Homo-oligomer: A and B are copies of this chain.
Amino acid sequence: MSTKHQEIPDIIVARLPRYLRALSVLREKAETTNSKELGAFLGYSAAQIRKDLSQFGEFGKQGTGYNIDFLTEQINSILNIDREWKMVLVGCGNIGHAILNYSGFMASGFQVIAAVDSDNDLIGKKINEQITIQSIDDIEQIISENRISIAMLTVPANVAQEIAEKLVKFGIKGILTYAPVILSLPVNIRVEYIDPVISLQHITYYLD
């Protein structure tokens, strides 16, 4: 884990990718923005935006707001997405297929360069022009040869923990998991959960 921003609360870090999304839309119409506009776009207060961004340095000027390209560049650097990240997809069912055909990764500097499964009926199948499904038994070699540090985990819930432990053993540092179980892994491993039920339960709180 980096030490450079260690003191910044994770909740603020979590908002930065959304800032990027907002900035890319606002950039279509202007070169500058301000905390009020950004806040309105994202549903946060202007004060929240200023407070968040002040954690990382001085990005705006009183009265003139933020230069969108500059702010985008700075946030890209903070999030370490000013480079390419190679990923391996573990599990090639419906969700795995949807992910491989999702064009949004490449545009963001993330690239799935290999996909594995344990199902003999899937191994050897071409998923798209670049990727042929490989055996999960080859995962160690795939990770080390390609120096992959991020895995996307789209396997059934009952095998997710076991497979995640293997991935970590073979050098994976970050896991984006779609399996609806909480993974118990060393603290230095970064796990993000994509879980529609958790999001739905968040929605219903407000739907009383």
Contacts and interface: CB of A to CB of B under 8 A. Distances in A.
How many copies of this kind of chain does the complex include?
2
Interface residues of A, number: 64
Contacts of A105: 196-197, 200
A199 B192 contact: yes
A204 B150 CA distance: 9
Contact of A14 (B4, B104, B202): B202
A202 B13 contact: yes
Contact of A182 (B1, B25, B93, B176): B25
Contact of A202 (B17, B198, B207): B17
A99 to B, nearest CB: 7
B205 A16 contact: yes
